[in-house]
Structure 1
Amino acid sequence: MDISIIIGGEAGAGVMRSGYILARALVRGGLSVFGTNDYPSLIRGGHNAYMIHASDKRIHAHRENFDIVVALNAETITRYVDQLTENAAIIYDPKDRSYAEKLSDKALLVEIPMMDIVKEEKAKPVMMNSVAIGAAAGLTEYDYEILKSSILDSFPKPEVGEINARLAKRGYDIALEEYSSKFKIKVAPLEKDGKQIYLTGNEAVALGAMQAGMKFYAAYPMTPASPILHFLALHGPKYGIVVVQPESEIAAINMVIGAAYAGVRAMTATSGGGFSLMTEALGLAAMSETPIVVAIAQRVGPSTGMPTYTAQTDLMFVLNASQGEFPRFVIAPGDVKECFYRTIEAFNLAEKFQVPAIILIDKYLAESHMSTEIFDTSNIKIDRGELITGEYKGKEYRRYEVTETGVSPRAIPSTRNAIVKANSSEHTEYGYASSNALNAVKMQEKRFRKLKYMIMEMDKLNPAIYYGDPQAELVLIGWGSIKCPVLDALEILKSMDISVGFLHFIYLSPFPVKYALKYLKDRKIMLVENTYTGQLANLLKMHTGLTVDYKVLRYDGRPINPSQIVEKVFEVIR
């Protein structure tokens, strides 16, 4: 079983909420579910959509064609005409009949009197979305009780949940009795041990930060990173986390540096424009060797670009951000599970090596929901590196003591017998500003001495992961959220007896050279990336000398879908 559903309507119609409720009901039935949204950057108005892909097999991305279109307005009926599957259905209200009738040769027309039902139940007009998702469940003969549980758990007031459940049942019954026999796809819950969770990349990053022991978070709202702030503001204080929305991104990162200097784990998050403002302070963290974590959720640029659409165009910017040279970690998770665990890694690595750690995601991963097993926290370890607590027992304390690894003992203010002097200017081992040439060489070499050990540590953490046929002549490469459509493309190709491989880069700084050479040398390489220039290809060549042979690039703000990748592979192997 595999089904793709889109719910569409005008802003304010509860499109995202109702889509999430239906998707979560499918998750509760044990199905693998991926949900993503589409909305314009408008304060009011515009068309919103929530896309659901569900299957009884493991899936990782959305599908670009739809088996069911749930239309909360007339625009939705006509907007997706070219994306209907062969046996699609359109669920609509009689007020939009004139639009739907034009498509009678393209889809099963499922007419549900949504507005009449809402009036009969004396409910608010926006609640027609509950009638609609009930109809979608009825059309596929999905278990209503599971949908009901998802609805009831979505509203704090029980009476509101009950009326929405009742409305959904009305839509469910009509679709089941009058239309389900004409619709081919049936969705049934699976019998599985254990429970799944359904969350976004943003939520997984926030949970990872909480699990890592973060105690201070400061951020200025910027789409698509704002949900991290919202999540932590709601849940953080219960776990002793201070959450602050300051006046700007500049203030946010400087507050985070101050909190980390004081000894707590601290993080900020933003998008490309906000990170542009943070770059000078990133250099402050690097020069003062203050361990901070920055999450960046990319969107389309330059400038304001398209704030609510996705891109991977900030890669080279993030790798080189701020003036001067200094080592940093740049980690790009590929799904919600990696967002959780790799965020914890970022905190450990930042403190262990006293460098900035950047988590690089994009709008597609940040705001898409994915079902996954409950995170296992039993083996998570917190590594705070050379942190000194309580009392310093050595000779006169040197915050920037030159060591074999480049990592100095790190005391925090109030540590007994240690005066902690941090400095944004070049400095001596004691933290005093210095422009002495010999000292400048010594301190720069000290900071870069860390890089050898950073690479050694990174290599223990699976910085790049290979999927598919280990002997494949053609290997796809990508980073971050590209993992989602590529893994689904691999399954499609496998069903056609076409063998390819996929090397997913998670660490981009330091670059996992050994992994790249191991899996890509003497192979044909195809890059898959949401950019115009193919930035990973340039990075790969710079570090390994390897050249990409083919590219699948997209730069219209929409995520690459599995079929695009399959088509390109067909083109290459012909």
Structure 2
Amino acid sequence: MDYTVLVGGEAGQGMDTFANLLEKILKRAGFHVFSKSDYMSRVRGGHNFIQIRFSNKPIYAHTEKVDIVFALNEETVEQHLTRLKENGIVITDEGIGKDKDLFHLPLLKTAKALRNSRVYTTIGLGAILKYYGLPLKTGEEVIREGFNEKLYKININALRAGYGMVDSEYSLPTLEDKHILINGNQAVGLGAIAAGCKFYCGYPMTPSTGVLNYIAAHANEMGIAVDQVEDEVAALNMALGASYAGVRAMTGSSGGGFALMVEALSLAGIIEVPVVVINVQRPGPATGFPTRTEQADLRFMIHAGHGEFPRMVIALRDPEDAFYQTARAFNIAEKYQIPVLLMSDQYLADSTTTREPFDFSKIKIERRISGEEGVLDQEYKRYKFTEDGISPRILPGKIPGQVVLVDSDEHDEWGNITESDEIRIKMVNKRMKKFEGLKEEVEEPWLLGDEKPENLIISWGSTYGPVREAVEKLLEEGISIGALVFGDIWPLPTKKLMEMSKFAKRIIDVEQNATAQLDSLIREELLIKSTDKILKYDGRPFSGDELYTRLKEVL
């Protein structure tokens, strides 16, 4: 079984609340859930919709066809009627689409009888639960937990009213609830908390704001200082100050905000202070599509900042990956005293899905702070030349008589400004030695499908879900196909790709940008060139269905 419910209307009509309740009810009934939001950059009006897909087996992306359209206005009917499956229905109020063969219900009339027109969507929720034969009790439990006493009573009455309006077309069995329900931004925030982050700051910018909101919501409980700063320039500089003082620090934004951070990023490079930064991508240039998705910042993240200094770039593939990789980023940042840059996007950030509970025992906090052993002969050299380029790091004020100097100018081992060309060469080489160590840290891309495929897909980040579903369909058809989905981007992992490219007759690059940025990076690093490219840059994510169709066109 595999069903999708789409709710659509104008901003402000209660779609988020409806989707949030339905997701929780389906998850509690033991189903796997994947929910995708499509919203405009408007507080009111416009056309927004949310798709909630559920199944009795794991699912990783949204679908093109839907089973139910819950239309809150005429525009939703017009835009999505053609997306219905053969036996799909449109549920709507009796005042909408009067000239069409729709499933009309007295939603507004019933809401007014309950003396609150805002429970309109809760009535529709009750009807949908009954349509699928899902227990009313589960819906009532979720509503009781989600509303205060005044609101939950009227919403339960609304749910019951909707439940009584229709007959059941299905009788779906409920299963054991074994999962958590989480989106990409929440997973990043949870990963940062698990890693011991004690300072997060940022300026709100869609679609990254959810990370700031999640950490702020748990700040008092977890002892984290959270600051909404005046701009992104301040954000990274403040995070660097917090890290210099001794706490794990992080900041985040979207592409335009990250662009404002690049001078401070170079500062992180020369003062060798660890920091984690996330870029939750959206389409640019400039304001671009503020509420849409894209993967167009890969090259920017690798090369951002003036001058040469090491950094690591990690693309997050799904919420589970986002949790573990965010925690890993803090350890790498502190080990090498560098910025570690995480890449997400609107699709991953806002999509809610069920996953196995994360294993917090896998998270190891490795601070790598030196004590008095970092001071030799009563003399602390913050930028001591070492074989691997990593100098002892002590915290300011922790060891009597020792000063921790940092400076944006080139400096000697003590941190004093220098004009020496000889020291300059040594310091550049010292910093770049870390890159050799980073090459040993990188994790190979995830492999999907055949280990020696004739057709090899390369992709990265949030394309993982659609790629996985497309590959599974093609394998069922007997097609020899495999995929490498990159998480670590820079330094570029090379072993699996070098090996698998020997057997592949066709290499297909799948990316959400116009210039095939991963493909060009692979060509630059390995001289391996794709034979075909499947690119998408309309601001909307690939679905597994769309990608399957486009792959069939090139196979």
Match of 1:171 among 141, 162, 170: 162
**Contact 2:77/2:97 (<8 A) preserved:** no
Aligned pairs for 1:295-310 within 5 A: 295-310=278-293
| SS state at 1:316 partner | helix
1:332 maps to 2:315: yes
**Contact 1:32/1:371 (<8 A) preserved:** yes
What's the offset of the Cα at 1:527? 1.1
The 3 A distance-change label for structure 1 pair 2 and 481 is same
Aligned pairs for 1:439-450 within 5 A: 439-450=423-434
Unaligned 5+ segments in structure 1 are none
One-letter amino acid matched to 1:26? L
Aligned pairs for 1:553-568 within 5 A: 553-568=535-550
One-letter amino acid matched to 2:172? V
**Contact 1:391/1:415 (<8 A) preserved:** no
One-letter amino acid matched to 1:187? L
Which range is displaced more, 276-285 or 4-13?
4-13
Match of 2:331 among 340, 348, 356: 348
What's the offset of the Cα at 1:186? 5.0
Equivalent position of 1:231 in the other structure:
214
One-letter amino acid matched to 1:188? P
Whole-angstrom distance in 2 between the partners of 1:546 and 1:148:
56
The 3 A distance-change label for structure 1 pair 455 and 333 is same
Equivalent position of 1:293 in the other structure:
276
Which range is displaced more, 346-355 or 127-136?
127-136
Which range is displaced more, 204-213 or 375-384?
375-384
Whole-angstrom distance in 2 between the partners of 1:187 and 1:228:
35
- Residues 278-334 of structure 1 deviation map (CA, whole Å, 9 limit, x = unaligned): 000000001100000001100011010010000000110011000011111111110
Whole-angstrom distance in 1 between the partners of 2:392 and 2:27:
47
Equivalent position of 1:153 in the other structure:
145
1:21 maps to 2:2: no
What's the offset of the Cα at 1:168? 1.4
What's the offset of the Cα at 1:48? 1.8
**Contact 2:206/2:291 (<8 A) preserved:** yes
- Residues 494-534 of structure 1 deviation map (CA, whole Å, 9 limit, x = unaligned): 33233311101000111102232123334121111110111
Which range is displaced more, 162-171 or 195-204?
162-171
Match of 2:260 among 261, 277, 294: 277
- Residues 163-187 of structure 1 deviation map (CA, whole Å, 9 limit, x = unaligned): 2122112112212x2xx34xxx653
Whole-angstrom distance in 1 between the partners of 2:372 and 2:68:
62
Equivalent position of 1:121 in the other structure:
114
| SS state at 2:213 partner | helix
One-letter amino acid matched to 1:327? P
What's the offset of the Cα at 1:393? 4.4
1:135 maps to 2:135: no
The 3 A distance-change label for structure 1 pair 113 and 389 is farther
| SS state at 1:131 partner | helix
1:479 maps to 2:469: no
**Contact 2:93/2:106 (<8 A) preserved:** yes
What's the offset of the Cα at 1:67? 0.8
* Sequence identity (%): 40
Which range is displaced more, 137-146 or 355-364?
137-146
Whole-angstrom distance in 2 between the partners of 1:376 and 1:147:
29
**Contact 1:503/1:519 (<8 A) preserved:** no
The 3 A distance-change label for structure 1 pair 401 and 541 is same
Whole-angstrom distance in 2 between the partners of 1:154 and 1:497:
47
Which range is displaced more, 417-426 or 251-260?
417-426
**Contact 2:457/2:483 (<8 A) preserved:** yes
Equivalent position of 2:435 in the other structure:
451
What's the offset of the Cα at 1:435? 2.4
**Contact 1:531/1:555 (<8 A) preserved:** yes
What's the offset of the Cα at 1:439? 0.9
The 3 A distance-change label for structure 1 pair 529 and 186 is farther
Equivalent position of 1:40 in the other structure:
40
- Residues 42-74 of structure 1 deviation map (CA, whole Å, 9 limit, x = unaligned): 233212211111111111001121110001122
| SS state at 2:146 partner | coil
One-letter amino acid matched to 1:431? G
Equivalent position of 2:49 in the other structure:
49
One-letter amino acid matched to 1:310? T
**Contact 1:531/1:553 (<8 A) preserved:** yes
Whole-angstrom distance in 1 between the partners of 2:428 and 2:481:
43
Equivalent position of 1:569 in the other structure:
551
Whole-angstrom distance in 2 between the partners of 1:346 and 1:519:
28
Equivalent position of 2:498 in the other structure:
517
What's the offset of the Cα at 1:434? 1.6
**Contact 1:237/1:243 (<8 A) preserved:** no
**Contact 2:272/2:338 (<8 A) preserved:** yes
1:548 maps to 2:530: yes
**Contact 1:20/1:35 (<8 A) preserved:** no
**Contact 2:283/2:539 (<8 A) preserved:** yes
Residue correspondences, number: 552
What's the offset of the Cα at 1:390? 7.0
**Contact 1:112/1:135 (<8 A) preserved:** no
- Residues 348-367 of structure 1 deviation map (CA, whole Å, 9 limit, x = unaligned): 00000000001100000011
- Residues 238-281 of structure 1 deviation map (CA, whole Å, 9 limit, x = unaligned): 11100001111101110000000001000001000000100000
| SS state at 2:310 partner | coil
Equivalent position of 1:464 in the other structure:
445
Whole-angstrom distance in 1 between the partners of 2:370 and 2:542:
47
Whole-angstrom distance in 1 between the partners of 2:333 and 2:13:
43
Whole-angstrom distance in 2 between the partners of 1:390 and 1:216:
26
What's the offset of the Cα at 1:345? 0.4
Unaligned 5+ segments in structure 2 are none
Whole-angstrom distance in 1 between the partners of 2:309 and 2:522:
20
Whole-angstrom distance in 1 between the partners of 2:348 and 2:163:
32
Which range is displaced more, 513-522 or 387-396?
387-396
The 3 A distance-change label for structure 1 pair 365 and 270 is same
Q: TM-score when scaled to structure 2? A: 0.97
Whole-angstrom distance in 2 between the partners of 1:61 and 1:439:
53
One-letter amino acid matched to 1:143? P
One-letter amino acid matched to 1:529? E
Equivalent position of 1:188 in the other structure:
173
| SS state at 1:322 partner | coil
One-letter amino acid matched to 1:49? F
Aligned pairs for 1:378-389 within 5 A: 378-385=361-368, 387-389=369-371
Equivalent position of 2:68 in the other structure:
68
| SS state at 1:96 partner | coil
Whole-angstrom distance in 2 between the partners of 1:432 and 1:554:
50
Whole-angstrom distance in 2 between the partners of 1:216 and 1:79:
44
Give the root-mean-square deviation of aligned CA atoms.
1.4
Equivalent position of 1:494 in the other structure:
475
